[in-house]
Amino acid sequence: MIAAEGATAVAVPEGAAEGRWAVETHGLTKRFGGNTAVNDVELLVPRGSAFGYLGPNGAGKTTLIRVLLGLTHADAGTMSLLGYRVPKHRDLALARVGAIVDEPRFPRHLTGRQNLSMLAAVREPAARTRIEPALERVGILHRADDKVAKYSLGMRQRLGVAACLIGDPQLLLLDEPMNGLDPAGMQDMREMIQSLTAEGRTVVLSSHLLDEVERTCDAIAIVDKGKVIRQGPISELLAGTSVVIQVECSDPERARELLERTTLGSQIEDVHLGISVALPAGSGRDAIAEIARVLVEGGVAIYRLQPIQASLESWFLQVTSRLGASE
Amino acid sequence: MTTVQANVPTPSLASTSGDAPPDHRGSYVPTFGMITTRMMELTKRRGLMITLAVVTIGIPTVFLVVRLLAHAFDPKSYGPAGGYTIFTSLVAGVLFIFGFIVAATLGCTAGSADLGDGLFRHLVVSGRSRLALYLARVPAGLAIIWSMVATGFIIVCAICVLAAPTKLNDNGLNVPPHLSEVQFEAWSAANADQVICNFPFFGGPKRSGPQLGNVNCGPHGLVIAGTTSPNGTPVTQAEIKAFAVTIAKQNYASYSRLFLYPSDSLMIESGLWVELEATIGFLVGLGLASLIGQRTVSVILMIVLELILTPIFSRAHIPHLINAQRSVVGVAMAHIEPGALPLVFGGGGGGPGSGPGGGRSQLIPETTTEAIIVIVAWIVVWTALGAWRMMTRDA
């Protein structure tokens, strides 16, 4: 994680309830007619973390963020931001929250700096002094006096982040912040998010890009059809997934026969120059040694034996396919 | 390709220390900064501002400048650019109606632009009171529209006063201004032919004073042969002068209401009246656009209200709908129009010579108190509706 120079810890707001959660929801529900976009969501986002809210398109990610921000009302449930109950103490909570919801849009006839001036005017007086540093931080200071009409989508994303930063937020809710960014821009955004969390801020990142979330976040929640189906630190969630062993050997057919006779309970597939052995969740390192022993004793020469931890993507697909199968 | 500088910390992080911000964010009172930045946002709409300036300032200015030039180059054919009549016509016919439309357009823009531009969401997530966000638009927009209408109005006043005619035009005759009744009669006696042939004679058997039997006027407004006295004999010069004095007596009341240029009090009253109309246009447009969330539709509705519904409702006496007609704000505004102005919406019933409130008789009846109540109600109700929608709208 990249630590920002001069970063300081963010204190808990005066009057806010003590607690370790930046976002806390219980039974949160939002319906649009017969469609339940947010379905009884129980969400706990630790303070100071980069938290991924992960789900396919239409899963209700943006709706949840809109409900949290008071952009639309919830039909049921309770929620708090930075320890403040929302919507009761919405003004206090949102004073230290920055957000990008959907594609960031701004008045096109104003410059980037003028847009930030408008947004700073609705915040505390000190927000005006943060405009320049915020523009510099997101890398568009040199275009600050250009009209937004001339900005690319990526630049508007950056302006959206700058708009968040002028409020000196303890919590940032970023809805698909990588949209419209080129690879270099995505890398920049990743580093920015990491630097923000290094300063003690909490970043909640909604995305359908599994790889981005895995690279950026410490913890995640998986949402599908409006409902959170898993949440926790990525390492803990992946710890319960299967491990795949790739074996490159002299006789793949023989290797398959030998391993199928064992009690490892593995699933074996043919791959180029060898086989792939998927061990059940919870299999220890001994299982890998057992594979090597069986193959060597069976006269199969091993050229390469590589355990591969399941990626977030494969785990996500496992989880969602399991759910799909159970329906 | 720009680079995000991950090592530039947000500067005041340490200074705020996470305390609750000292800005009363939940208050419904907008801050001065909110108002000034909202003004900036509106004034940066170059196309809109140019259009508004052209309509409120450009049209009357061009009209008056053309008259100035025409009079300068050919004073015999073209009268003076300014004067009382030009002033009243421009105020009631141009500034009042166009001022309303311009103000309504600005109000509709202020009420719907944030939604269309995506700024509304950014503003709401700041935690600032939505009511304060709405109310910030009111002084910001009014400051713009008041200054624009005032500029147009001041130009009209200045030219109408400075380029006013030196003689009054009364029934087509150039008459010296500020004459007493005796002086007016003396002037009429001295210009008896023209007075007899141009001024209206409200004669009749019961009218006192000398009369003529048959009046024949020539092509230049001169009494010619064939004009007779009441007993049928050819008229004498003494009879002509006496008859002119009779006519002067009858017309002095209307003459005394003629001015070379508008009085200070009329200019002040007219200015306030036009600004009030612009205020109503802005606030109703703001509320309407906030309510329905669309600028174009709102502007069209406002124009329909001003140019179609109000003229119809102000004059047509529709049975069973008379109270609905009275509740139209344009009708109420017509009732509190300064009396010396011609009736708005092209009525022409008021104005010089018709007497104070001369055009009011054509309006559907409504007391001043009722008119004021209607105006206040329109302002309050539309502001409340717009604010309510702003506070409840999904962002």
Q: How far apart are CA B119 and CA A114, in angstroms?
A: 12
Q: How far apart are CA A170 and CA A165, in angstroms?
A: 10
Q: How far apart are CA A225 and CA A207, in angstroms?
A: 14
Q: How far apart are CA B338 and CA B341, in angstroms?
A: 6
Note whether A188 contacts B4, CB cutoff 8 Å: yes
Q: How far apart are CA A210 and CA A195, in angstroms?
A: 20
Q: Tell me the residue type at B382.
A: W
B82: helix, strand or coil: coil
Identify from B12, B15, B50, B122 which residue to disrupt to test chain A contact, counting A C-beta atoms within 10 A and taking the largest count: B122
pLDDT at B382: 97
In DSSP terms, A23 is beta-bridged to A45, A81
Find out if CATH 3.40.50.2300 is the number for domain A21-231: no
Is omega for the bond preceding B21 within 30 degrees of 0, making it cis? no
pLDDT band at B16; cut points 50, 70, 90? very low
| Domain extent listing, chain A | 21-231, 242-309
Chain B closest-CA separation from residue A223 CA (Å): 23
Do B142 and B282 form a contact (C-beta atoms < 8 A)?
Answer: yes
- Tell me the percentage of chain B whose pLDDT exceeds 70: 82
By the 10 Å C-beta count (0-12 exposed, 13-18 middle, 19+ buried), A279 is classed as buried
ipTM reported for the complex, 2 dp:
0.75
Is omega for the bond preceding B319 within 30 degrees of 0, making it cis? no
Q: How far apart are CA A118 and CA A105, in angstroms?
A: 14
Residues from chain A that touch B15, judged by Cβ atoms under 8 A, are 126
pLDDT at B209: 52
Q: β-strand A274-279 against A267-271: which pairing, if any?
A: antiparallel
Do B245 and B184 form a contact (C-beta atoms < 8 A)?
Answer: no
pLDDT at B180: 86
Q: Does pLDDT of B221 surpass 90?
A: no
For residue A296, give Cα distances in angstroms to A90, A300, B47: 66, 5, 81
Neighbours of A11 (CB within 10 A): 15
Note whether A92 contacts B127, CB cutoff 8 Å: yes
Note whether B44 contacts A14, CB cutoff 8 Å: no
Q: Residues with Cβ < 8 Å from A183, sequence gap 6 or more?
A: none
> Which residue of A lies nearest to B17 if distances are taken between CA atoms?
A11
Residues from chain B that touch A168, judged by Cβ atoms under 8 A, are 10, 12-13, 16
pLDDT at A12: 43
Residues from chain B that touch A182, judged by Cβ atoms under 8 A, are 1
Note whether B123 contacts A119, CB cutoff 8 Å: yes
Note whether B126 contacts A122, CB cutoff 8 Å: yes
Residues from chain B that touch A195, judged by Cβ atoms under 8 A, are 6-7
pLDDT at A114: 96
Q: Which residue bears the tokens 């469609």?
A: A35
Q: How far apart are CA B369 and CA A114, in angstroms?
A: 45
pLDDT band at A17; cut points 50, 70, 90? very low
> Which residue of A lies nearest to B16 if distances are taken between CA atoms?
A168
pLDDT band at B48; cut points 50, 70, 90? very high
Mean pLDDT of all residues in B16-35:
74
> Which residue of A lies nearest to B129 if distances are taken between CA atoms?
A91
Do B15 and B7 form a contact (C-beta atoms < 8 A)?
Answer: no
Q: Which residue bears the tokens 């568009």?
A: A140
User: pLDDT, tens digit, for every residue of B118-173?
Assistant: 899 999 999 899 999 999 999 999 999 999 999 999 999 999 998 887 777 777 78
Note whether A105 contacts B128, CB cutoff 8 Å: no
Chain A closest-CA separation from residue B40 CA (Å): 9
By the 10 Å C-beta count (0-12 exposed, 13-18 middle, 19+ buried), B177 is classed as middle
| Average pLDDT of the residues of chain A | 84
Residues from chain A that touch B139, judged by Cβ atoms under 8 A, are none
Note whether A114 contacts B44, CB cutoff 8 Å: yes
Q: Does pLDDT of A34 surpass 90?
A: no
Chain B closest-CA separation from residue A119 CA (Å): 6
Do B284 and B97 form a contact (C-beta atoms < 8 A)?
Answer: no
Residues from chain A that touch B126, judged by Cβ atoms under 8 A, are 94-95, 119, 122-123, 167
Residues from chain B that touch A100, judged by Cβ atoms under 8 A, are none
Q: Which residue bears the tokens 């929620």?
A: A79
Q: Tell me the residue type at B154.
A: I
> Which residue of B lies nearest to A130 if distances are taken between CA atoms?
B11
* pTM tops 0.95: no
> Which residue of B lies nearest to A88 if distances are taken between CA atoms?
B26
pLDDT at A302: 92
Closest CA to B202 of B171, B228, B177: B171
pLDDT at B140: 97
pLDDT band at B254; cut points 50, 70, 90? confident
Q: Which helix (H) or strand (E) holds B137?
A: helix B130-162
Quickly name the fold that domain A242-309 has. Answer: Alpha-Beta Plaits (3.30.70)
pLDDT band at B228; cut points 50, 70, 90? low
- A11 → closest Cβ in B18, B23, B119: B18
Note whether A118 contacts B13, CB cutoff 8 Å: no
For residue B215, give Cα distances in angstroms to B172, B202, B224, B231: 18, 14, 8, 13
Q: Does pLDDT of B223 surpass 80?
A: no
Q: Where is average pLDDT lowest: A138-147, B103-112, B165-174, B378-387?
A: B165-174
Q: Residues with Cβ < 8 Å from B369, sequence gap 6 or more?
A: none
User: pLDDT, tens digit, for every residue of B341-392?
Assistant: 777 664 444 444 444 444 566 788 889 999 999 999 999 999 999 999 999 9
Q: How far apart are CA B257 and CA B341, in angstroms?
A: 12
Q: Does pLDDT of A236 surpass 90?
A: no
Note whether B17 contacts A11, CB cutoff 8 Å: yes
Do A95 and B127 form a contact (C-beta atoms < 8 A)?
Answer: yes
pLDDT band at A327; cut points 50, 70, 90? very low
Q: β-strand A171-175 against A97-100: which pairing, if any?
A: parallel
Note whether A133 contacts B16, CB cutoff 8 Å: no
| Angle (CA) A59 A65 A66, round 5° | 105
| Average pLDDT of the residues of chain B | 83
Mean pLDDT of all residues in B89-96:
91
Order of strands across the sheet that contains A243-249:
A267-271, A274-279, A243-249, A302-309
Q: Residues with Cβ < 8 Å from A78, sequence gap 6 or more?
A: A25, A26, A27, A28, A85
Q: How far apart are CA B281 and CA B346, in angstroms?
A: 19
pLDDT band at A4; cut points 50, 70, 90? very low
Task: Write out the two tokens for A36.
Answer: 């339940």
Of residues B88 and A116, which shows the higher confidence score? A116
Chain A closest-CA separation from residue B283 CA (Å): 22
Exposure string of A153-173, with b = 16+ CB inside 10 Å and e = fewer, is: ebbbbbbbbbbbbbbbbbbbb
Neighbours of B4 (CB within 10 A): 23
> Which residue of B lies nearest to A6 if distances are taken between CA atoms?
B9
User: pLDDT, tens digit, for every residue of B281-299?
Assistant: 999 999 999 999 999 999 9
